[in-house]
Structure 1
Amino acid sequence: MKVFDKILNWYFSMNALPYWVILLIDIIICYFSGIFVFWLYYHGAVAFNNIALLSKTILMYMVFNLIGFRIFRTYSGIIRYSSFVDLQRVVLAMFLSLVIAEVMHYFVYNLEMHFVRLQGRQIAAMYLVATIGMMAFRILTKSVYDVLFNTDKGIRTLVYGVKDGGVGLAKSIRSTKPCKFLLKGFISHEPSIKGRMLMGENVYLVDDSLADRIKSLKIKAVLVSPLQNERFRNDAKLQDILLSLGVQIFMSSAEKEWSQEDDYSKVQLKEISIEDLLPRDQINVDMDSIGNLLRGKRIMITGSAGSIGSEIVRQVAVYNPAELILIDQAETPQHNIRLMMQFEWPDIKAHTIVASISNKERMDNIFETYNPDYVFHAAAYKHVPMMENNPSESIQNNVWGTKVIADLSVKYGVKKFVMVSTDKAVNPTNVMGCSKRICEIYCQSLNKKINEQADGKPVTQFVTTRFGNVLGSNGSVIPLFEKQIKAGGPVTVTDPNIIRFFMLIPEACKLVLEAGTHGSGGEIFVFDMGKPVKIADLAKRMIKLSGAEHIEIKYTGLRAGEKLYEEVLSTTENTLPSFHEKIRIAEVREYDYNEVNKQIESLIALSHTYNDMVIVEKMKEIVPEYVSNNSKYSVLDK
């Protein structure tokens, strides 16, 4: 046995046998197949008495075998990684050889003095036995390798998904050496496949018995088929089962959309984060058409160092604009953007400028110098509690800054101005949301005014995009929860019933580009944010996902200006359809520009008094639907 083990370890430690060794083994199998068939027909004595002549006959037929071997390259694969395709090549090679042999044996049949006289059915039997032997050799070698090198090694694993995606992923992990995952079955929602087997393993349904199955099989990991990512994200029941059992979950990257034709050996799996589990629909955007509009243009992006602004920079840079004018007042993050552009897009002329959008003189100089074709305006103060305590800064940065950029866009003939807004601007309950609503009102009224005065000439088109929370943005709740969990808790949630909409930053920015480049001016585009997420449930899942125990969730009460739920007006009653199924056009009240401009000028003047109550009172006058929630400004609503 020790000698046998040494031989096995020697073979399996090699990268692959040389092709001539595989060819030699196949020839030996064919030779003994011929001896075996002759023995079956004529029994032992006759076979052994004619062994020399029989050997010469078999070797003569081996010439026909070599033709099939060469055409179908049966010796080119690595035997221990044999697949159905390799077995198919063996069958086709031997069938071709058989056809040639059956044709040629009529000529050989008359050479009885030099060869054994074989009949057609004996030749067919010889080739059939040889084919079975060659296939058995490959299957046995692969099986021995799997047993020797996979038993009790690797993480005991189930694959979520069957058919092309699941089977492709399963084949990929089985062929990966050294073995990281040990396949023990599949998970499916399809009742028709219950009790079936795939690749020698059982298929288990997502039902009440699944948890017990996972425990009995000692499953430690589940791999999600790339074709089932969206379904898995929306299956809270299955997620809860896996998380409660401490099972690791691995998914492919969300950056690539997989199809049935893809090579699943290239799937890059990563252990999930909470962002991967949040339910959301796949968003498809025709980025090529967007690229055609932006290619070769001068693009200005304000707030370029922020979560949204920096992602817009990345997505726009792909399409080779003539110049990027990147503006942000945060020096260190803006420096990081400069380094990113130097290393990732060195051929694009990028101007990374540290400046405040509320500095009108500086902004005028920048517009005059670079004369942008498109402006994506993402700069804003966004944190609700901070702006609730600093309404003057909310006005001077968000409102005045937007007015400065919008007015300069008209002055210097910008083709399109795209403003990034928020769901908090809908029926605002806080200073930040109201400041963004005032920005929306100003841009929409300015668009109406310049169109009325255009007299058929091209004018700047103002487009607003409105969406909810983005996953992973600076200061979002997820990084806060992660920090609290690492510290041992408690995890703080303001209210057990508070809910929020979430979207990935890349998806949100794709929709911003889609709406911005395809909008005709004056629209407020509302994004379909999918299903809302209860923040308390989010916290519970993050705790389970971390593996930490005895972490308390502490409810602290709603913060000043905070809503239990956000509104985006993405209903069919309050919106109109657009060019994209995930983008709708909000039906909002239109304002007269002269009146709006007068009110905003007054508001800006008041902001320099730094009298919070006076400032907010004026904001409520401009936006009557602004009703403060859990805030000191609530007295102004009475």
Structure 2
Amino acid sequence: MINQIGRIIYNKFLKNRLLSRWFILFIDISNILCATVISYFLTLKIYNKITIVYHPRFVEYLGVAIFFNLLFFWVFKTYRGIVRYSTVYEFQRILIATLFADSLLFLTLHKVMGLSGGVSLAYCTTLFLASLVGLYSFRIIVVCSYQILIQRYEYKLAIPVYVWGLDEATIAAAQLLRTSSHKFKIIGFLTVESDSQLKKVIDLPVFVLKKPDDLNKYKIKDVLFTKESDLKDHVAYVEKLFSSNTHIYITQETNIDNMSQLTDAVNRIRPIQIEDLLGRSEINISLEIIGENVKDKTILVTGAAGSIGSEIVRQLANLGPRYIVCLDQAETPLYDLDIELQKKYPNLNYTAIVGDVRNRSKLAQVFTEYRPNIVYHAAAYKHVPLMEKHPCEAVLTNVHGTKLVVDLAIENAVEMFIMISTDKAVNPTNIMGATKRLAEIYVQSCANDLYKNKFRTKFVTTRFGNVLGSNGSVIPLFRKQIESGGPITVTHREITRYFMTIPEACRLVLEASVIGKSGYIYVFDMGQPVKIYDLAEKMIKLVGLIPEKDIRIEFSGLRPGEKLYEELLNDSEITEQTTHEKIMKAKVREYHFQDILPQIESIISIAQKEDKYQLVATMKKIVPEFLSNNSEFESMDVDVLSVNNN
């Protein structure tokens, strides 16, 4: 019977309900009211034999005490937390609030009402102690009762997990987990900080790790990370956890003073993903300066429905632009973006336009109607094997499309044009990379030609490597192959790639657009290259399987135009550091606009005629470093090299 009543109370009143903050404030003030009464009559009793002592009137004392406590409860927001999730930090806020309140009460009693210092101190001390007893007891009873009910009705199926780290935010999140209805049960902490003073305030085991092999001592099966940065800062330990098939979970980093953030962090615990391991610590960018740069501006984003274009739109949406024009020829992804913007940014002024960058008439209409101040050009064909089969299409989009957007930007006096390029444009070995290099050349030549660039449009090119999780990238492919039981196909055991998260890449694009100078190509610090074979192994281990036993890894051979190693900088380029540590300026070979224009027009004309062999031969003459790899066009390199040598 008692068990049934407890379950009813838990399910009806505790499991999915939170006390109103005003109700919590009411309870706290009621505690102060009781503490004030106790303080008043207890102090009177202490001094009742001393007739010469002056005491305040009860009503005055009660009013002043409640007023000061209410004031500092409001200042320190002691009522805003969720009582069942109270941690040491909530208790600290209560302690500070009551100290301030009683300090002002002492000054009022002593200086304003004329009580002696000793009597005033007696009133304040008894009130302070009685207040803490009442306020703390209320929270301790709620926390303990809720934890007992959780353990009785919820913890039977909970996963025992160790929490990584031993700082204030981690302990707060862990305490929240311990007192919440959740599938995880905190059983201890792991830390590499042997001198942490916070070990003294924890009633759970704390294992101090001096080296990764120490993890073998404790037979740990599940670990929770509360900070993404810990994954990057302790790579050796994470690798050890992987090798022992430990289940790793992660949640978002939180502000311990924001209870809603802490609650969200608990509710958003998820298994670790490969992006969490490959991504780096968040890059700092000057949001204020970027915001000033785009505020009240009309911005055109081409390729707006793609991985990079859509993220640029999202980040711009938070910076107060006057209007965003989202242009893309892909109807369904553009529709999805439109729906997302309507839901997440209801106050954003924008339009979604179906249009192709190869259609000059459509582009001219967009420029005339919306008069953009800034253009982010992300529209491009990017898939290497497909473009190797269809070089004419690659040129018409990546070169001709870029030329049309650049020309119209100049004609319409656009303030700034930012082109999104790729690391595959460096010493290109494939059609896609070569077309992006040609687009870079045209953009740069226009920027530096004072006659062509008559309105002094600022042209900035950004160049980076593969982005994690982008459409068609290797990670979504591997996930599908794992879900279907394998095998995972890797082109070559030694193949490596640079990786960057989509938000990280787009933040750097925005930063480069502000700090960049016209006519330069900016290269992002991509970190260390990742071996794709190692990536495949990690992804298999992430789902609890064993590489080569549960999921095989097969080698399919390099695809047409693919190379083993990507380069971010050409050997002949000069790299200079910018004001941002993650962005470098690449000084590439300059082409004069009057020289390059007829060659670009020639390439476009050949592409329109669908003569792919003449097209590729011409591209190799303009971009002599373009040497095909594992492609039907390799034979042309001999002819081009002999011509260049002569």
TM-score bracket, normalised by the shorter chain, equals 0.7 to 0.9
Tell me the residue number matched to 1:155. Answer: 159
- Cα 1:306–1:374 shift into 2, 3 Å: same
Structure 2 Cα separation of the partners of residues 175 and 148 of structure 1: 10
Write the mapping of 1:551-570 to structure 2, written as runs, cut at 5 A. Answer: 551-569=551-569
Structure 1 Cα separation of the partners of residues 348 and 134 of structure 2: 58
- Cα 1:541–1:10 shift into 2, 3 Å: same
- Cα 1:406–1:184 shift into 2, 3 Å: same
Tell me the residue number matched to 2:117. Answer: none
1:172 aligns with 2:176: yes
Tell me the residue number matched to 1:233. Answer: 232
- Cα 1:460–1:199 shift into 2, 3 Å: same
1:252 aligns with 2:252: yes
Q: Which has the larger radius of gyration?
A: 1
Tell me which moved more, 166-175 or 396-405: 166-175
Indicate conservation of the 8 Å contact 2:279/2:501, yes or no.
Answer: no
Write the mapping of 1:485-634 to structure 2, written as runs, cut at 5 A. Answer: 485-548=482-545, 550-569=550-569, 574-634=574-634
Q: Shift of the alpha carbon at 1:270?
A: 3.1
The letter for the 1-side match of 2:185 is L
Structure 2 Cα separation of the partners of residues 336 and 616 of structure 1: 36
Tell me the residue number matched to 1:191. Answer: 194
1:85 aligns with 2:89: no
Tell me the residue number matched to 1:405. Answer: 405
Write the mapping of 1:313-462 to structure 2, written as runs, cut at 5 A. Answer: 313-345=313-345, 347-449=347-449, 451=450, 458-462=455-459
SS of the residue corresponding to residue 461 of structure 2 reads strand
Structure 2 Cα separation of the partners of residues 360 and 132 of structure 1: 74
Q: Shift of the alpha carbon at 1:190?
A: 1.7
Alignment partner for residue 222 of structure 1, among 224, 242, 256? 224
Structure 2 Cα separation of the partners of residues 314 and 127 of structure 1: 53
Alignment partner for residue 465 of structure 2, among 463, 468, 471? 468
- Tell me the alpha carbon deviations over residues 266-325 of structure 1, each in whole angstroms, 9 at most, x when there is no partner: 442331322112141321122232222222222221111111111222222333433333
- Tell me the alpha carbon deviations over residues 581-618 of structure 1, each in whole angstroms, 9 at most, x when there is no partner: 21111021111111111211222222234333322121
The letter for the 2-side match of 1:616 is V
- Cα 1:208–1:396 shift into 2, 3 Å: closer
TM-score of the superposed pair, with normalisation by structure 1: 0.78
SS of the residue corresponding to residue 579 of structure 2 reads coil
Indicate conservation of the 8 Å contact 1:157/1:223, yes or no.
Answer: no
Q: Shift of the alpha carbon at 1:191?
A: 3.1
Sequence identity (%): 38
Indicate conservation of the 8 Å contact 1:90/1:135, yes or no.
Answer: no
- Tell me the alpha carbon deviations over residues 229-261 of structure 1, each in whole angstroms, 9 at most, x when there is no partner: 2231343332233343342412217xxxx5676
CA RMSD of aligned residues (A): 4.4
Structure 2 Cα separation of the partners of residues 372 and 144 of structure 1: 60
Alignment partner for residue 203 of structure 1, among 194, 202, 206? 206
SS of the residue corresponding to residue 233 of structure 1 reads helix
Structure 1 portions without partners, runs of 5+: 39-61, 104-121
Q: Shift of the alpha carbon at 1:476?
A: 0.7
Aligned length in residues: 585
The letter for the 1-side match of 2:521 is I
- Cα 1:26–1:223 shift into 2, 3 Å: farther
Structure 1 Cα separation of the partners of residues 300 and 83 of structure 2: 58
The letter for the 2-side match of 1:298 is T
- Tell me the alpha carbon deviations over residues 503-545 of structure 1, each in whole angstroms, 9 at most, x when there is no partner: 1212211221222244331011111112222211211121111
- Cα 1:439–1:184 shift into 2, 3 Å: same
Indicate conservation of the 8 Å contact 2:65/2:102, yes or no.
Answer: no
- Cα 1:143–1:522 shift into 2, 3 Å: same
SS of the residue corresponding to residue 584 of structure 1 reads strand
The letter for the 2-side match of 1:502 is F
- Cα 1:411–1:238 shift into 2, 3 Å: same
Structure 1 Cα separation of the partners of residues 123 and 289 of structure 2: 63
Structure 1 Cα separation of the partners of residues 255 and 595 of structure 2: 54
Structure 1 Cα separation of the partners of residues 192 and 11 of structure 2: 38
The letter for the 1-side match of 2:482 is I
Structure 2 Cα separation of the partners of residues 184 and 69 of structure 1: 42
Structure 1 Cα separation of the partners of residues 7 and 100 of structure 2: 28
Tell me the residue number matched to 2:475. Answer: 478
Q: Shift of the alpha carbon at 1:442?
A: 0.8
Q: Shift of the alpha carbon at 1:326?
A: 2.5
Indicate conservation of the 8 Å contact 2:299/2:321, yes or no.
Answer: yes
Tell me the residue number matched to 1:118. Answer: none
Structure 1 Cα separation of the partners of residues 397 and 129 of structure 2: 83
Tell me which moved more, 139-148 or 242-251: 139-148
Indicate conservation of the 8 Å contact 1:299/1:375, yes or no.
Answer: yes
SS of the residue corresponding to residue 366 of structure 1 reads helix
Write the mapping of 1:49-198 to structure 2, written as runs, cut at 5 A. Answer: 83=88, 84-85=91-92, 88=95, 141=141, 142-143=143-144, 146-147=147-148, 149-150=150-151, 152-153=155-156, 154-176=158-180, 178-193=181-196, 196-198=199-201
Indicate conservation of the 8 Å contact 1:94/1:127, yes or no.
Answer: no
The letter for the 1-side match of 2:92 is V
- Cα 1:370–1:161 shift into 2, 3 Å: same
SS of the residue corresponding to residue 241 of structure 1 reads helix
Q: Shift of the alpha carbon at 1:481?
A: 0.6
Structure 2 Cα separation of the partners of residues 586 and 459 of structure 1: 21
Structure 1 Cα separation of the partners of residues 637 and 82 of structure 2: 77
Structure 2 Cα separation of the partners of residues 182 and 93 of structure 1: 37
- Cα 1:566–1:288 shift into 2, 3 Å: same
Indicate conservation of the 8 Å contact 1:418/1:465, yes or no.
Answer: yes
Tell me the residue number matched to 1:54. Answer: none
Q: Shift of the alpha carbon at 1:486?
A: 0.6
Q: Shift of the alpha carbon at 1:13?
A: 7.8
Structure 1 Cα separation of the partners of residues 131 and 12 of structure 2: 27
Indicate conservation of the 8 Å contact 2:6/2:149, yes or no.
Answer: no
Structure 1 Cα separation of the partners of residues 83 and 501 of structure 2: 44
Q: Shift of the alpha carbon at 1:498?
A: 1.5
